[in-house]
Amino acid sequence: MAEKLGIKELWTRKSPWLKALDIVILLFALAGFAILGAWGAYQLGVTNNKGGVDKNYRYLMSVEEMEALQDSTLTEQQIEEQWFTQYAKLAAYGRFYPTNAKLIMNAAQASNDPTIIDRMIAASNIYTQDNNAYVDLMNKLENIINKQPQQEAPNVIPWMNTVEWEALKEAILRDSALINEAGRLSGVEPRLIAGCLIGEQIRLFNSKREMFKKYLGPVKVLSVQSQFSYGVNGIKEFTAKAVEDHLKDPSSEYYMGKHYENLLDFETADHSNERYKRLVDYRNHLYSYIYTGCILHQTMLQWKRAGHDISNRPDILFTLFNVGFSQSIPKEDPVCGGSHIRVDGQLYTFGAIGFDFYYSGELAQAFPYWKQKFLTGDEQAMTAEQVAAIQENMSDCNRPVKGLEYMDSNKSAAPAAPASDGIEQIPVTPAVAY
C-alpha cells in the first residue's frame, strides 16, 4: 500500500526548482483573486467615498449667499458707500491680520468690487471666530457705522462746490496731456504744475467775475493773460527771463543740471518777442507749463541747497510760485500764503487753494501723485532734435500786439486781435508780481 504523504512532507521532498515554480504559481493566483475582488467591489459600489460634512457648512453657505449679491443691483452711491464701509472693516481686520488685510485690499482694488472685501473677510472668519478681541472690535465698529448713516454732504472744500470749479476742471482736463508733458520735460510732478494753474485761474475768474464768466462757463477754456503777466499762469516777462538764465548758469543756486540747459532755447535772435509768443499762445499752453515747472524746480533746488527741503511741501511751493524769486528766501519755518483770493464770500490765499487741490484727490487719474516730486536730470544735455520737438509746440495763432498795455490810450493803436480759434483775449492785471 502506497504511503500517503502530508503537504509538509511533499514540500520537503520537492526540488528547489519545483518549490520556486509553486511559489510563482501561488503569487499569480493571489494577484488574480485580488484583481477580481477589486473589480467586484467597484461594481457593487463598495469603494464609493461618501465624504463628510464640513463643520463650518452653514458658515460657508452664508459666504456663498453673499456671493450671489450682484453689484448691478446697487446704485453708484450705494457702491461708493460700500467702499467706505468695507475699508473701515478692513482697517479693523488689519490690526490683527495685516498680511491677509493687504491681500484682501489688493484683490478688491484689482477687481474694483467693494463687496469682495466683505466676502473675503467672512471667509477667513472661520479661523478668527475664536479671537475674542477681534470679534469684539468688529462688533463695536459695525455698531458705530450703523448708528451714523452716510451724509449727502457737499465737498468739504467750499470753493470746490462752485459751478466755476466744475467748468474749470473740464478746461484743465483738456490740457492734461500738455501738463504731463511739461512735468516730464522739467522733472516736476505734473500735479504741482496743475496746482499753480488752478490757483491762477481761480484768482483770475474771481477778480473779473462777469468777464470771465462769459468765457470760462459756457466755453470751458482757460484764460490767457497778455498784459503785464503772460499766459494761463500769469508769468511776468522778467520772471521767464530769470528762469532761462538759471538754466544756463551752473553757478546759480537755481541751476537744474546739464540735462535741462537747452530746455528753453530760442529759435530766433529776438528773444523778447519769441518769449511773448510762447507764453501768449491761445492754442498750445505747453510753454506756460514748462516755465511753471522750471520755477517750481528751481525754487525747490534753491531751498534744498540752503539746507531746507520743501520738495514735499506743496503749500510752500505754490506760495513761492505766486510771490516769485525775489521773495523766495530759504528759512527754517516757511508759511503758506500768497495773494488773497475771495471765492463765494470766503477768503483764501493762493498757496491754500493750490494745497486744497493737491491733497483733494480731484483729477488724480489725470495727475497722479508721484512718490518723488522732482526728478534730477542726467548729465547728458538734450539733443537738438529734442529741443526742436519742444519748439514745434508754439502755434501760429494771432496774438495781441506786445506792449499794448503800455501804449497811450489816446493814440491810435491796432486793437488786440482775437485768436484764430475764436477765443478772445482777456487782459487782466495780476494781483501779485513775480
> What does the pLDDT look like over 6-21, one tens digit per residue?
666 666 666 777 767 7
Task: Give the pLDDT score at 409.
Answer: 52
pLDDT in tens, 75-91: 777 777 777 888 888 88
CB 89 within 8 A of CB 141: yes
Using DSSP bridges, classify how beta strands 235-236 and 229-231 pair: parallel, antiparallel or unpaired.
Answer: antiparallel
CA 89, 91, 97, 102 dihedral sign is positive
- Determine what percent of the chain is predicted with pLDDT higher than 90: 48
Q: Give dist(CA 410, CA 184) in Å, integer.
A: 46
262: confidence class by pLDDT, cuts 50, 70, 90: very high
Say which residues have a Cβ less than 8 Å from residue 150's Cβ, sequence separation at least 6.
81, 84
How high is the pLDDT of residue 40?
67
Confidence at residue 46, expressed as pLDDT on a 0 to 100 scale: 56
Highest mean pLDDT among 8-17, 98-107, 204-213: 98-107
Predicted pLDDT of residue 316: 97
Phi first, then psi: give them for residue 266, nearest 5 degrees.
-95, 160
Contact residues for 151 (Cβ-Cβ < 8 A; gap 6+): none
* The pLDDT value given to residue 212: 59
Task: Taking the CA atoms of 255, 258, 261 and 263 in sequence, report the sign of the dihedral they define.
Answer: negative
Predicted local confidence at residue 57, as pLDDT: 45
Burial class (CB in 10 A: 0-12, 13-18, 19+), 223: buried
Q: Tell me the pLDDT band of 269, cut-offs 50, 70 and 90.
A: very high
DSSP, res 340: E
Residue with grid cell 508759511, as numbered in its chain: 335
- DSSP letters, 93-105, are HHHH-HHHHHHHH
First-to-final CA distance of the chain = 138
How far apart are the C-alpha atoms of 331 and 408, rounded to whole Å? 43
User: At 38, which helix (H) or strand (E)?
Assistant: helix 16-43
* Per-residue model confidence as pLDDT tens digits over 143-184: 888 887 777 778 899 999 988 898 899 999 999 999 999 999
* Nearest by Cα to 298 from 331, 350, 254: 254
Average pLDDT taken over every residue of the chain: 81
Distance CA 247, CA 195 (A): 23
Q: How many residues does the chain have?
A: 434
Alpha carbon 135 to chain centroid, angstroms: 34
From CA 126, how far away is CA 360, in angstroms rounded? 39
pLDDT at 227: 84
d(CA 401, CA 134): 72
Which position has the grid cell 540747459? 261
Q: What's the mean pLDDT in 359-371?
A: 95
Q: How confident is the model at residue 371 (pLDDT cuts 50, 70, 90)?
A: very high
The pLDDT of 136-144, averaged and rounded, is: 87
296-300, 351-355, 395-399: the lowest-pLDDT one: 395-399
Reply yes or no on whether the pLDDT at 191 is more than 70. yes
Which pLDDT band holds residue 415 (cuts at 50, 70, 90)?
Answer: very low
DSSP string, 264-306: T--SSS-HHHHHHHHHS-SS--HHHHHHHHHHHHHHHHHHHHT
The CB-based long-range contact list for 131-135 (8 Å cut-off, 24+ gap) reads 131/96, 133/96, 134/92, 134/93, 134/96
Highest mean predicted confidence (pLDDT) among 145-154, 235-244, 395-404: 235-244
Query: What pLDDT, on a 0 to 100 scale, did the predictor assign at position 105?
Result: 85
Q: Which of 293, 295, 306 is nearest to 253 (CA)?
A: 306
Using alpha carbons only, give the angle 21, 24, 26 rounded to the nearest 5 degrees: 110
Contact 315, 287 (CB under 8 A): no
Beta-bridge partners for 374: 188
Rounded to whole angstroms, the Cα distance separating 334 from 340 reads: 17
Phi, psi values for residue 28, rounded to 5°: -65, -40
The mean-pLDDT minimum among 94-98, 110-114, 424-428 falls in: 424-428
In angstroms, the CA 46 to CA 336 distance is: 82
Among the residue ranges 19-33, 235-249, 286-300, 380-394, the one predicted with the least confidence is: 19-33
Residue 122 to residue 118: CA distance in whole angstroms? 6
Q: Between residues 216 and 299, which one has the greater pLDDT?
A: 299
- pLDDT of 430 reads 34
DSSP string, 104-158: HHHHHHHHT-THHHHHHHHHHGGGTTT-HHHHHHHHHHHHHHHHSPPP----SSG
Q: What is the pTM of this model?
A: 0.74
The reported pLDDT for the residue numbered 45 is 58
- 304: pLDDT confidence band, cut at 50, 70 and 90? very high
In the predicted structure, residue 263 carries a pLDDT above the cut 80: yes
